[in-house]
Amino acid sequence: MATVPTYYVKHIITTNPKLYFLHRVEKFQSLACLLHNQEQQSKPTQLDNVNKSSENNRDAKVTSSFFPKRGQNLELVCESLAFKGKGVCKVEDSGFILMCDRALPGERFIGRVTRRKGSYAEVTKLKTISPHWDIVDAPCEYASYCGGCKTQNLSYEAQLRAKEQQVRELIVHVGRFSDKTPEFLNTMKAIVPCDEQFHYRNKMEFSFGSQKWLPKNLLEDKQEDGQTYALGLHAPGFFDKVLNVNKCLLQSKPANMVLEAIQECWRHPNFGLTPYDTRCHTGFLKHLMLRTGRNPDTGLLELMVNFVTSSYEPDLLKPLVEKVSVIPEVVSIMNNVNTSVGNTSVGEEEYTLYGKSSITEMLRGLIFKISANSFFQTNTGQADVLYKLVEDCAGLRGDGSEIVLDLFCGTGTIGLTLAKRVKHVYGYEVVPQAISDAQQNAKLNGISNATFIQGDLNKISDTFGSDFPKPDIVISDPNRPGMHLKLIKYLLKLKAPRIVYVSCNPATCARDLDYLCHGIKEQNIKGCYELKSIQPVDMFPHTPHIECICQLELC
């Protein structure tokens, strides 16, 4: 029988959060079984007791292997946070793992098993018996049911601890780095907190929907207005239901003024505006994207409002444009027209309805132009901190002699912030618009030693690298799936003296670090890097996202 190579399985597992979790759970499971077998088999377990008292219990002889069953109610304690901020609960003795959305470390609660997935099960929280450790009041009225800020009622210090612990576990279990050596203490740095824990997002995308969503306990009180149309955030797990939101504490104050102004008027019957219905593909308004930047001359906030619609009908948008253009910070109103049935906000056509077609932002002393669809780090303040750390890890000599290869360069931000201290920067990126923004950003800042090339780094050929000199430093900042194996192999062959790996997914990051440092055994490829440091950075308080900067040096 043909076997699938382990490196391939590992690559797939860490790219897919669900599979990754399963894999991790299986590791815990085997450990738990091992420990369990060493214990006295006759000892009654808490698990047995729960089974016996359960209404669903058919037979007192039911063994732990049949546990838990779908629909069963259990009393659980959350131990830690895992992927996507889900709470991890273990059944005492058996170590069976249950995952519960919105359960926080230390919380004792009653949960109902909704799905059993092989070696772990999913649970829905029914009732909290005693709250989690480090409980705080969530300032946002939607925090307990909006999918965005899952940990707003966990103290910020506890959020940081949980994130740091996740990175550490991944580096040890997936990356195969030992945390038992004295060097590990120096390698694994403490997480860098975010100074601004609210109003830090410079971009928010809200959706218009024809079906307002409310959690069950609020249905009776709040749907008296008879309104079914909503503008807000997608209900967790639903592509067609929208939680109506009048204010989001993660975005800037002027962005909230725009949201409120639109909420006040868009349903007015005289305007004839309809939300796009994602099931029957009718309706006009799809998304409202709000981007906040800063004017480089005055330092004042400036806002772009982008309406994503299913067709181009500027007259229909006129009342909304009039309403928001009076807000002093609004300097750009755009219309992206997206005729596809998909949920994306990038339009096939783009129109300027008011003011300019882009806004600006400042980062590490440079000015960046941001258009409606260009990628830009969503937390500007913390991006400044992140880029400073990247520069430190790059360890530039500063004599203008080095070559930097900036992989997944987006609009060129990292490479451009390093350009003044190096000989040349070569940036690679798949999105053509981002490349053109990067070139304009270089011009805007008077930088002539940066070249940006459009290309797909998942599809590199054997000739990749022939059009630039061997780099001294490689910066790699991929999106969540991490680096493709082809790119890893290229880097192992290239042997640049230093790699700075910036990651927004610690699972794929740990996997890629394992390849670069320990090699790919099945392919007889040796690793040739040493992990010098791994620095988690909190870019997004109250959410499960974690950024990491890793410094690697050629052995």
Ligand X SMILES: C[S@@+](CC[C@H](N)C(=O)[O-])C[C@H]1O[C@@H](n2cnc3c(N)ncnc32)[C@H](O)[C@@H]1O
Task: Cite the active site residues.
Answer: 504
Taking the C-alpha atoms of residue 541 and residue 97, their distance in angstroms, rounded to an integer, is 26
Helical segments of 16-94, H only = 17-38, 46-53
198 in a known ligand binding site: no
SS3 113: strand
Amino acid at 338: N
For residue 128 the two structure tokens come to 């909290």
**DSSP letter at 271?**
G
164 in a known ligand binding site: no
For 361, list phi and psi in degrees, rounded to 5: -145, 155
Q: Which residue is nearest to ligand X (CB)?
A: 410
SS3 498: strand
* Nearer to ligand X (CB atom), residue 325 or residue 417: 417
For residue 362 the two structure tokens come to 């400042």
21 in a known ligand binding site: no
Please, what is the minimum distance in Å from the beta carbon of residue 323 to ligand X?
32
- β partners of residue 91: none
Q: Which residue has the tokens 């965005």?
A: 148
* Nearer to ligand X (CB atom), residue 21 or residue 375: 375
For 368, list phi and psi in degrees, rounded to 5: -125, 135
Q: Which residue has the tokens 């895992």?
A: 82
Comparing CA positions, the residue from 293, 297, 296, 275 lying closest to residue 284 is 275
Please, what is the minimum distance in Å from the beta carbon of residue 149 to ligand X?
21
* Nearer to ligand X (CB atom), residue 50 or residue 170: 170
Taking the C-alpha atoms of residue 415 and residue 433, their distance in angstroms, rounded to an integer, is 17
Please, what is the minimum distance in Å from the beta carbon of residue 13 to ligand X?
19
Please, what is the minimum distance in Å from the beta carbon of residue 406 to ligand X?
7
* Nearer to ligand X (CB atom), residue 112 or residue 421: 421
Please, what is the minimum distance in Å from the beta carbon of residue 459 to ligand X?
7
Taking the C-alpha atoms of residue 61 and residue 65, their distance in angstroms, rounded to an integer, is 11
* Nearer to ligand X (CB atom), residue 48 or residue 406: 406
Please give the order of strands across the beta sheet that includes 498-503.
450-454, 424-429, 403-407, 473-476, 498-503, 547-554, 529-537
* Nearer to ligand X (CB atom), residue 48 or residue 429: 429
Taking the C-alpha atoms of residue 321 and residue 443, their distance in angstroms, rounded to an integer, is 32
361 in a known ligand binding site: no
Please, what is the minimum distance in Å from the beta carbon of residue 496 to ligand X?
17
Chain residues in the site for ligand X (CB under 6 A): 375, 377, 408-410, 413-414, 428-431, 434, 456-458, 477-479, 504
Strands of 217-284 (E only): list them: 230-234, 242-244
Extract the annotated binding site for S-adenosyl-L-methionine. 377, 408, 429, 477
